[in-house]
Amino acid sequence: MKRQLALLTLTGALSVPMFAAEFITIGTGGVTGTYYPTGGAICQMVNKNKKSTNIRCSVESTGGSVYNVNTIKAGELDFGISQSDTAYQAYKGEGKFGGAAAVPELRSAIAIYPELLALVVNQKSGIKTISDLKGKKINMDSPGSGTRMTAEMVFDAFGLKTSDLALANELKSSEGPTMLQDNHIDGYFFMVGHPTANIKDAANSVDISIVPIEGAGIDAMIKKYPYFAKGTISGSFYKGVPNDVPSIGVKAVLVTSTKVKDDVVYQVVKTILDNFEKFKELHPAYKTITKESLLEGLSVPQHPGAIKAFKEAGLL
């Protein structure tokens, strides 16, 4: 009897893992956006290594950047995807994150892909540069939106004002394709991960162009606001846009907290770097990214675990 009890005790002890599994959750955005499949892609790769790392990853659909940052602060998320400008303001305690709302413990892991500002215009408008916008009808997006804020900063960089337009419309960018088709506007701004169904819809309705956003004024803008980064809208994405188009935008950044263990962050970032080419195949928005671009547009300090992974990969 004693021998049986001893065997049962030993068997029970052996059935308990030596190390408890580490469960992590990545906050993303709506299921139809780019954040959700991005979180899913990361978790898919992390979970393939779960036997060796003992890390289990799950993805959660959320309200997006601000929600993710606030929920990381509350300790309810380990990672989240955030626009680089939102992360910057949270870390610095600016804007809607002023005072007690600041998140000084926020840290970057990687900058995943660019959300680039597109100025989509009807080819009949004759708009080829930002300077050609004077006297035109342009949808600037709704007040308070990231698209609107960035578009107005681009105007400043080129010495333009919305009063220079014949019409400065304030509807959501989702209305852009319909307004363009109905000739209510000559063009519209939209900051988004590319490719997007929105611009594809516009291209299927009218002959469109996407206007380059570049120059000395843009260079100065990036220097002043570190959460912006240059990027390229691929010429393979949209009908009527055969060549790559330079632009500016924010990065979709994988963020975390100082409270998350170094090894956990290290393993997540290492997994992405070790399987980078496979990762790029998981979503069209990753078409133009490089390993080097994963470090561009980081607007808050990197987590030590992420730094270790990038150093091992020879990127830092």
**Which single residue is written with the structure tokens 């516009």?**
202
pLDDT of residue 309: 98
Domain coverage including residue 146: 115-250
For the segment 247-256, what is each residue's pLDDT rounded down to a tens digit? 999 989 999 9
Q: Residue 13 domain-assigned?
A: no
Domain finish residue from 250, 281, 299 = 250
Q: Residue 221 domain-assigned?
A: yes
CA distance 237 to 260: 37
pLDDT of residue 277: 94
In the chain the first and final C-alpha atoms are separated, in Å, by: 61
302 and 179 in a common domain: no
Structure tokens at 80: 């989240």
* pLDDT(5) > 50: no
145 and 82 in a common domain: no
pLDDT of residue 19: 54
pLDDT of residue 172: 86
Mean pLDDT of the chain: 90
For the segment 175-191, what is each residue's pLDDT rounded down to a tens digit? 999 999 999 999 999 98
pLDDT of residue 13: 42
pLDDT of residue 285: 83
Cis preceding-peptide flag for 195 (omega within 30 of 0): yes
Q: Residue 107 domain-assigned?
A: yes
Percent of the chain with pLDDT strictly greater than 90: 70
3-state SS, residue 144: coil
Q: Residue 10 domain-assigned?
A: no
Domain finish residue from 250, 272, 302 = 250
Of all helices (H) and strands (E), which one includes residue 132? none
57 and 43 in a common domain: yes
Domain finish residue from 206, 233, 250 = 250
| Domain containing residue 229: CATH number | 3.40.190.10
* pLDDT(15) > 80: no
| DSSP string computed for 224-259 | H-TTEEEEEE-TTSSTT--S-EEEEEEEEEEEEETT
The model's pTM: 0.75
275 and 225 in a common domain: no
Percent of the chain with pLDDT strictly greater than 70: 93
156 and 109 in a common domain: no
128 and 246 in a common domain: yes
Structure tokens at 240: 């009527």
Contact between 148 and 85 under an 8 Å Cβ cutoff? The reply is no
Contact between 177 and 203 under an 8 Å Cβ cutoff? The reply is no
pLDDT of residue 270: 97
Question: φ, ψ for residue 36 (rounded to 5)?
Answer: -65, -50
* pLDDT(18) > 80: no
Amino acid identity of 250? Answer: V
Of 7-16, 58-67, 71-80, 85-94, the range with the highest mean pLDDT is 71-80
pLDDT band at residue 144, thresholds of 50, 70 and 90? Answer: low
CA distance to 28, 81, 114, 170, per residue, from 34 (Å) = 9, 10, 11, 24
pLDDT band at residue 127, thresholds of 50, 70 and 90? Answer: very high
CA distance 141 to 303: 34
* pLDDT(2) > 90: no
pLDDT of residue 8: 41
Dihedral angle computed from the Cα positions of residues 239, 198, 153 and 138, in that order, rounded to the nearest 10 degrees: 80
For the segment 38-55, what is each residue's pLDDT rounded down to a tens digit? 999 999 999 999 999 999
